[in-house]
A and B are shown apart, each in its own frame.
Chain A
Amino acid sequence: MIDIIQQYWKAFLWTDGYHLSGLAVTMWLLVVSIAFGFFASIPLAIARVSRSKWLSRPVWLFSYVFRGTPLYIQLLFFYTGMYSLDIVRDVDILNHFFREGYNCTILAFGLNTCAYTTEIFAGAIKATPYGEIEAGRAYGMNKFTLYRRVIIPSALRRALPAYSNEVILMLHATTVAFTATVPDILKVARDVNAATYDSFNAFGLAALIYLCITFILVALFRKAESKWLAHLRPMKA
């Protein structure tokens, strides 16, 4: 264990000498895909609960497909599948985009977490107490203002516990990135395993790093919950 740490700690944390690797890559994948998923899922969630079938059905289909198939297959689809198409290789922009493992990984992860987040937010929007909406209407708010001031802020608060789960699951899901040659923590661990044959310590170290990130995320979300869900805490006598 000590030997591996001494020799490879840099690769595990941020660089293998040439490129970013390990923890830095994993965190980058996580932050970019979560950010993409968050911002894309708010309009999608609003469309998902819309009364118009033309809006809600396509979003339902998108989230059904992405939640019904494994992320690994989605990554294979975007990484090896897309690049095997002639159209993709002939068009310059597509060729450049899909040739990079990073781009495909971010695309697959972003869409995947977006699908789950959309469902979480849509559920939270549906759970808005009707009185709040009535009150907003009584104040003469139009639909946009109603969403901006009343529905979205309260829905996001309500979604926080489920959302924290999704972020942690996404952290765990980033481990498939190595199959698209992205040098995340697990890729480094596999390289160390191949170089030293010390599987237990190589993967054990990776597991420890993931465990630490999970604990930090849990702590952060606990803090966020105590800030934004403070009104739900039992009152002190």
Chain B
Amino acid sequence: MFLDGFGPIILDGAWVTLELAVMSLLVSFVIGLGGAGAKLSSNPLLKGIATLYTTLIRGVPDLVLMLLIFYSLQIGMNHLTEWQGLEQINLNPFVSGVFTLGFIYGAYFTETFRGAFLSVPKGQIEAGIAYGMSGWQTFSRIQFPQVMRFALPGISNNWQVMLKATALVSIIGLSDVVKASIDAGKSSYKVFFFTVVAGAIYLILTSVSSLVLMWLERRYSTGVREAEL
């Protein structure tokens, strides 16, 4: 039988892991763009908040933040529902996993996008303004497409780190591929084998994504010639 009959459970778990990673990527992407905008803005309050956010989040281990946010959010919700006289709402580990991972990696994306925004030559923005483009037009036509290209190596890096960080979400109770393989190992007395299976699934995920990212990098660098040494 396919993986001693545990195949379907493990594949389900792998699917949950992938969903978690993709959803967190979306959340952190949006936070990252907003954060980069705030960090580059001339408003000192926005700048201060964004700097505090990236410094604090990147200075604290992701697992500590995950536990901190997950437990505190639940307790906060309990206080809120108690105060309102409602029934207790239990946070779904998947949703809180997505928001926690997104919130943490948003800080890393903020730094990636900030660097990419700074890499767009100033003259091009001035040229856009000289053509009479509005702020949004210079952003969407000139800055954003180039920011994506400059940010791509950083995005790839963050994605791989985040994909591997999803393994930690099983610690806050999500039934992902790690949880599924631990359970399968315990009930079949083949712990060693199923740990290797979990590792192999992650290795496949990271290998496939590195191929896709390499292809994207090549595609978005069309027209840019690398220095040949």
Contacts and interface: CB of A to CB of B under 8 A. Distances in A.
Are A and B co-members of a single complex?
A: yes
Interface of A: 65, 68-74, 76-77, 80-82, 84-85, 171-176, 179, 186, 189-190, 193, 197, 199-200, 203-204, 206-207, 210-211, 214-215
Interface string B199-212: 10011001100000
Given A73-B202, A171-B61, A207-B60, A200 B75 contact: yes
B185 interface: yes
A68 B203 contact: yes
A207 B65 contact: yes
B18 interface: no
B62 A172 contact: yes
Interface stretch (B4-12, B31-39, B113-121, B164-172): B164-172
B63 A82 contact: no
A215 B55 CA distance: 10
A175 B195 CA distance: 20
Given A68-B207, A70-B165, A175 B196 contact: no
Interface in B161-192: 164-168, 170-171, 178, 182, 185, 189-192
Interface in B129-173: 164-168, 170-171
Question: Top 9 closest A-B pairs, CB basis?
Answer: A199-B71, A70-B167, A203-B68, A172-B61, A84-B191, A81-B195, A70-B164, A175-B63, A214-B59
Given A70-B164, A81-B191, A189 B178 contact: no
Contacts of B192: 77, 81-82, 84-85
B61 A173 contact: yes
B189 A84 contact: yes
Nearest to B62: A172
B68 A176 contact: no
B159 to A, nearest CB: 13
A199 B72 CA distance: 6
B68 A73 contact: no
B53 to A, nearest CB: 13
A36 B41 CA distance: 44
A203 B71 contact: yes
A207 B195 contact: no
Given A74-B199, A207-B65, A200 B191 contact: no
Contacts of B71: 193, 199-200, 203
A210 B60 contact: yes
Mostly helix, strand, loop or mixed at chain B's interface?
A: helix
Given A80-B195, A200-B75, A68 B202 contact: yes
Given A85-B192, A171-B61, A210-B61, A69 B199 contact: yes
A206 B189 contact: no
B86 interface: no
B67 A211 contact: no
B127 interface: no
B56 interface: yes
8 contacts: A73-B195, A77-B192, A77-B199, A84-B190, A175-B61, A176-B63, A203-B71, A215-B59
A206 B59 contact: no
Given A70-B167, A72-B167, A73-B202, A203 B72 contact: yes
A65 B203 CA distance: 7
Interface in B28-62: 56, 59-62
B23 to A, nearest CB: 18
A200 B72 contact: yes
B202 A70 contact: yes
B60 A176 contact: no
A178 to B, nearest CB: 9
B20 interface: no
Contacts of B56: 211
A186 B66 CA distance: 12
Contact of A73 (B60, B67, B75, B199): B199
A72 B178 contact: yes
Contacts of B196: 77, 81
Nearest to A72: B167
B168 A186 contact: no
Contacts of B206: 68-69
A73 B167 contact: yes
B169 to A, nearest CB: 10
B107 interface: no
Contacts of B63: 172, 175-176, 186
